[in-house]
Structure 1
Amino acid sequence: MEDNKLTGLNRWLSDFLTPVSAPQWPGEIPHEVDPPIGKLRGSRSDGVYIYRGIPYAQPPVGTRRFAPPVPVHPWEGIKDATQFGPMSYQDGEGNFSEDCLYLNIWSPEVSNTAALPVYVFIHGGGYVLGSGSQPLYEGKHLAQQGIVVVTLNYRLGTLGFLPSAAAYEEHGTTGNWGLLDIVSALEWVKENIRAFGGDPSRVTVGGESAGSYAVSTLIVSPLAKGLFDQAIMQSGSLPNATAVAPENVLSLEQAHGKASRFFDKLGLKDDAKGLAALREEPAYKLLAVSAQSTLQPPQVAGFWPVPDGHVYHADPIETVAKGEINPVRLLAGFNTDEGSLFVPPDATEQQYVSLINSAFGDSAAEVLQRFPVNMEHSAAARMNQLITLGLLRSGLYLYADTLARHREVYIYHFDYVDPDIAATGLGVIHGSELKFIFNNLIDHDNWNDDSIQVAREVQSAWINFIKFGNPNAPSENQLWQKYDSASPQEMHIAEERTMQPVLDRDDVVFINQRLQRQR
């Protein structure tokens, strides 16, 4: 039995984290399309056109390293789009390169005048891992339901988020290179997606984990205004409103200080001369400069986005609270056991206390008093609970409360165990909803009728929201009610879907207050 547990978990971790590209489908037939940027040769399979590895910006190398992306030039002739492009440098083994700014498109077999809804999905991975070509995010099954699906790569880690003061002087922005890549991809979609049957005025941006953090930042970014009308946030909100990266969520001044220390490790200064030298260093050398950190997974060390006043405002939490954001429709939520994937099986109370101290700072004592380890709650259970509450759920309702004043908001609580990992006892883990939404990597040998029905309902809800701005089908009873901040409820997704009050709302309010007090 123990071997079965490990097999299921290892399979899931491989699906979720391993930097590999989805394989081509058997029997793909060549197909060409002619968007404004230039002709592409993709392929056709099971009623879907597939275009892989489309460059949306010039390679961010040389003087374009640690700089905003530069739009790709239109090309002559026909560019091959049958293979995924390289992924951003990251740990592991894979097709990695600085030349990584590529996107992928799955579209139904329709004419370029179809005006279908578009779903742009941003991958997770803590801003240090992942790609848009992972098998988990294969867009074919969603496209078969009448949606144009786009996934993309963006710069990760140091290459994606180093907040150089010299770069700020040069470009008026810094530390947000990966976010600027995503904005550039959205601009590419707006200009070219009609050729693939998509409607540039019907774009939904979605993401999970760090991808959800990115979506939350796009909602507050003036640069993204008009590039999307709807958003989906799965297990992640504005980093400033969470405890997922307390060493990384910094003011512009603090970020400059952290970058200066990075330059020091390479014997350089963060000035024009030092930046020029850093741009000439081999990428592997930059990635080898490790940052000292006391953070515990899923807390992430390194460099993360910076409120630089250009990509987003200096105080994004205040910006959200005031409603000075892009007023989009929102679908957002969390999984029951977000934290279990990151908790050591033999977690100790000392490890729990260490996590809370690093995550909550001056408020740690209050948090530990409210959530003690005792006979009823083990250290592992408390770590799972507080990671879920404070790292991957907090901040969600700040967005819901604000956006509900402008547009429709729908909140969910995903509470169904993936049958493929049920034997691990980890519950409804971080990222487990993705398989249900994309309908990929499902081993039906382990799935009963209830499992298959939940998968159908979850995918249908996402499809309905992308198509209509409402997770309910137009012809069915409006079971999934809109979020109301005066009486907040969320859709409980389990064997049966039911509306319920926000789970553990008093705890949510308590955690959010402590986190916002720290900022």
Structure 2
Amino acid sequence: MAGQALAQSSEPIAVTSHGRLRGQRLANCMVFRGIRYAVAERFQPPRASEPWSGIRDALAPGASAPQTNANPPPGPPYVILAQLPRPAGAKAPAPLPENEDCLFLNVWTSALNDGRKRPVMVWLHGGFFYGGTGSTTDGSGIAGRGDAVVVSLNHRLNAFGYTHFGDLAGGEFAEAGNVGMLDIVAALRWIRDNIAAFGGDPERIMVFGTSGGGMKTSFLMASPPARGLFKRAGVQSGPGLRFMERDAAAAVTERLLREVGLTSANAADLAKLPMARLLAGYHSVAKAMKPSRFIDLPCFAPVIDPKWLPHHPFSPKAAAGATDVAMLIGCNAQEMSFFWGNDPEAFTLTDAGYRDRVRTFAGRRTDRLLRSYARAYPNATAARRYLQAFSDYSLALPVTAQADRHAHAGGTTYAYRLDLQSPALGGKLGALHTLESSLLFNTPEAGRALLGPGDTPVRLARQMSEAWVRFAATGDPNGTDLPHWPRYDAKSRATMLFDRETRLAYDPNALARRKMAPLLGA
């Protein structure tokens, strides 16, 4: 009975290959939460879970991956969203449960047994490869329209998902450096085999994500075992050009061993450490190995592997197989203010401070870069020019490179940029990182703290979410609600700009591409 549903029940009951699941009716759709898609021992690949008899409740999210630092650094969080004012009387959300047993997914759908096959949109959460959760996703704004099925999922993270043993431990943990990604592949296989039970089309699956979710999507595009499990990819503000080399990843593991009092001779004992101790060791190593820029992954990230990732996805070119997947890729105009929650000086830079900060990434190119941004933004303050230059360097530059390489290799590529200026915190944030999230999910009310009042967020949420659904369904985001959106190529670089007036532009990231190309190094 897999792939069917029990329509007679007053409660939504889906019949999967493992057993029956009871979901919950929402105002505009149904949701099934906390569905186990696999099980796994620490550092080991996931394996299929056991079937069950009877009806199992799918009413609450499963655990998120272990990630919370029990001894966080002093001062405000680096993510500036913590500074947004809460509505009067609103309480901080309760912390989500975390556990190594975290291989769960959630499904939103409008119907179970109506004969339709909707495109499937699989959301990979952000947080790079160290944090985040799919448990807070809300897919109802898309699923409630009836035009797609939405899935979010949890998988292993940080040291639990990406500790590369190399030649340590006798090969017992040969795949440990990528098990977080193996979890996602296992989830995609579960989705392929079961999504018809939720009204989805297993032949039209799109994987998409913002920030780290975009990086994970990029990995999957180049991973042979993931081939054929999805046909479209959405990479939002998360270019994945390169991942970790094996030697560098093995050196990180050696450092982790020292941190928790082990040696290479007893490296296998990492698998038996208490969860809290391993997590504390991870946080200590990660604190000492901070990335130098957004696309750098210095520790606990996916590793080049003969089976799972034979080549970097988009460096120096698109890997074999990556262009078999149609890709919609883009970023926001002023991404990096998102990360300045503990850096208030960045918003009030003098000319001297602006120059000093640009020099940290531009080196001998600093003066010519300053002149270029002065010409392009003559009325901007030094702080605003720095926000733009640093955002271009960090994200617009690698996003453009990934789009160029995908298109040059023959892939179907569409590009966008979100230019809408957030009015939050006095308007100093611009179009910051993650601003698109509630727009893509058609939940603008949930994003009002960043998006502001009025009809523009509602219109953009409709435009963007419908374009992403069309892309999931057909590989083409065009529709009557948008200007014509040509495929991207490395000559015209056609890019849809979402703003108060959505319009098409050609090569809108030209300044970063022309002036910063030698700084990419990937």
Q: Does residue 275 of structure 2 align to residue 283 of structure 1?
A: yes
Q: Structure 1 pair 368/73, CA: closer, same or farther in 2 (3 Å)?
A: farther
Residue 351 of structure 1, CA deviation: 8.9
1:403 maps to which of 400, 403, 406? 406
Aligned counterparts of 1:120 and 1:512: Cα–Cα separation in 2: 32
Q: Specify the code of the residue in structure 2 equivalent to 1:140.
A: S
Corresponding residue for 1:501? 506
Q: Is the 8 A contact 2:164 2:303 kept in 1?
A: yes
- 1:403–1:108 CA distance, 2 compared to 1 (3 A): same
Cα gap change, 1:351 to 1:263, in 2 (>3 Å): farther
- Paired residue for 2:44, among 60, 67, 71? 67
For 2:178, give the aligned amino acid: N
Relative to structure 1, is the Cα distance of residues 39 and 484 closer, same or farther in structure 2, using a 3 angstrom cutoff?
Answer: same
| Counterpart residue type for residue 159 of structure 2 | T
1:412 matched residue in structure 2: 416
Structure 1 residue 79 and structure 2 residue 79: aligned? Answer: no
1:509 Cα deviation (Å)?
4.5
Match of 1:216 among 218, 234, 239: 218
Using the size of structure 1 for normalisation, the TM-score is 0.82
1:395 partner SS: helix
The 1:354–1:307 alpha-carbon spacing in structure 2 relative to 1, beyond 3 Å, is farther
Which residue pairs with 1:384 in the alignment?
A: 387
Q: In structure 1, the residue corresponding to 2:497 is in which secondary structure?
A: strand
Secondary structure at the aligned position of 2:248 is classed as helix
1:160 touches 1:178 (CA, 8 Å); kept in 2? yes
Between the aligned partners of 1:225 and 1:122, the Cα distance in structure 2 is 17
In the alignment, the residues of structure 2 paired with residue 320 and residue 74 of structure 1 have an alpha-carbon distance, to the nearest angstrom, of 43
Mapped pair 1:156 → 2:157: yes
Does residue 311 in structure 1 map to residue 308 in structure 2? yes
SS of 2:106 mapped into structure 1 = strand
**8 A Cα contact 2:396 2:512, kept in partner:** no
Determine if contact 2:397/2:509 at 8 Å carries over to the other structure. no
Shift of 1:113: 4.0
Matched, 1:346 2:357: no
Question: Do the aligned partners of residues 194 and 352 (structure 1) sit closer, same or farther apart at CA in structure 2, a change above 3 Å counting?
Answer: farther
Q: 1:504 to 1:117 in 2, by over 3 A?
A: closer
Q: 1:446 Cα shift? A: 4.7
After superposition, the Cα gap between the structure-2 partners of 1:108 and 1:294, relative to the gap in structure 1 and judged at 3 Å, is closer
Structure 2: distance between partners of 1:162 and 1:383: 36
Taking a change above 3 Å as real, the CA distance of residues 331 and 117 of structure 1, as seen in their structure-2 partners, is: same
Tell me, what secondary structure is at the counterpart of 2:177?
coil
SS of equivalent to 1:175: helix
Aligned in 2, Cα 1:296/1:478: closer, same or farther, shift over 3 Å?
closer
Question: How far has the Cα of 1:422 moved from its partner?
Answer: 6.3
Give the aligned residue type for 2:32.
Y
Q: 1:378 offset after TM fit, Å?
A: 6.0
Q: Specify the alignment match of 1:457 in structure 2.
A: 463
Q: Answer yes or no: is 1:90 the counterpart of 2:46.
A: no
Kept after mapping to 2: 8 A contact 1:297/1:342: no
Determine the structure 2 residue equivalent to 1:264. Answer: 258
8 Å contact 1:113–1:194 — kept in the other structure? no
What does residue 186 of structure 2 align with?
A: 184
Is the contact made by 2:471 and 2:477 (CA closer than 8 Å) also made in structure 1? Answer: yes
Counterpart position of 1:491: 496
Q: Could you tell me how far apart the structure 2 residues matched to 1:225 and 1:194 are?
A: 20
Rounded Cα–Cα distance in structure 2 between residues aligned with 1:164 and 1:112: 48
Question: 3-state DSSP class of the match of 1:206?
Answer: strand
Cα displacement (A) at 1:208: 0.2
1:268 aligned counterpart, secondary structure: coil
Partner Cα distance (1:384, 1:319) in 2: 28
Residue of structure 2 equivalent to 1:246: none
> Secondary structure, in 3 states, of the residue corresponding to 1:371?
helix
Partner of 1:251: 245
TM-aligned CA distance change 1:216 to 1:322, over 3 Å: closer
Shift of 1:174: 3.8
TM alignment of 1:317-336, pairs within 5 A: 317-318=314-315, 320-321=317-318, 323-336=320-333
Contact 1:112 1:194 in 2 (8 A): no
Structure 1 stretch 458-467 or stretch 316-325: which is displaced more? 316-325
**Counterparts in 2 of 1:308 and 1:105: CA distance versus 1, 3 Å:** same
Q: Any stretches of 5+ residues in structure 2 without a counterpart?
A: 1-9, 70-94
For residues 477 and 78 of structure 1, do their structure 2 counterparts lie closer, same or farther at Cα, with a shift above 3 Å needed? closer
Q: Are positions 1:45 and 2:18 aligned together?
A: no
Quick check: 2:221–2:321 contact (8 Å CA) kept in 1?
no
CA–CA distance in structure 2, aligned partners of residues 127 and 322 of structure 1:
21
Question: What SS class does the counterpart of residue 23 from structure 2 fall into?
Answer: strand
2:426 corresponds to which residue? 423
Return the offset for 1:228. Answer: 0.3
2:363 maps to a residue whose letter is A
Separation in 2, partners of 1:78, 1:413:
45
Instruction: Report matched runs for 1:7-156 at 5 Å.
Output: 30-58=11-39, 60=40, 64-91=41-68, 93-111=95-113, 113-134=115-136, 137-145=137-145, 146-156=147-157
1:164-203 matches, cutoff 5 A:
164-165=165-166, 166=168, 169-170=171-172, 172-203=174-205
Structure 1 residue 250: deviation in Å? 3.3
- Structure 1 residues 295 and 379 mapped into 2: Cα distance closer, same or farther (>3 Å)? farther
* C-alpha displacement of 1:295: 4.4
* Number of aligned residues: 467
- In 2, the alpha carbon distance for the partners of 1:301 and 1:465 equals 33
Alpha-carbon shift at residue 461 of structure 1 (Å): 1.6
- Cα distance in 2, alignment partners of residues 127 and 395 from structure 1: 18
Work out the percentage of aligned pairs sharing the same amino acid.
32
- Tell me the CA shift for residue 406 of structure 1: 3.5
> What CA deviation, in whole Å up to 9, does each residue of 1:357-382 have, x standing for no partner?
4xx5xxx4244344349987766435
Over the aligned positions, Cα root-mean-square deviation in angstroms equals 2.9
CA deviations over 1:291-333 (Å, ceiling 9, x no partner): 2135468677641111123221244444744655251111111
Given that 2:252 and 2:299 are in contact with CA atoms closer than 8 Å, whether structure 1 keeps it comes out as no
Contact in 2 for aligned 1:139/1:150 (Cα 8 Å): yes
Compared CA separation, residues 321 and 36, structure 1 to 2 (3 A): closer
Cα distance, 1:455–1:201 mapped onto 2, change above 3 Å: same
Compared CA separation, residues 379 and 442, structure 1 to 2 (3 A):
closer
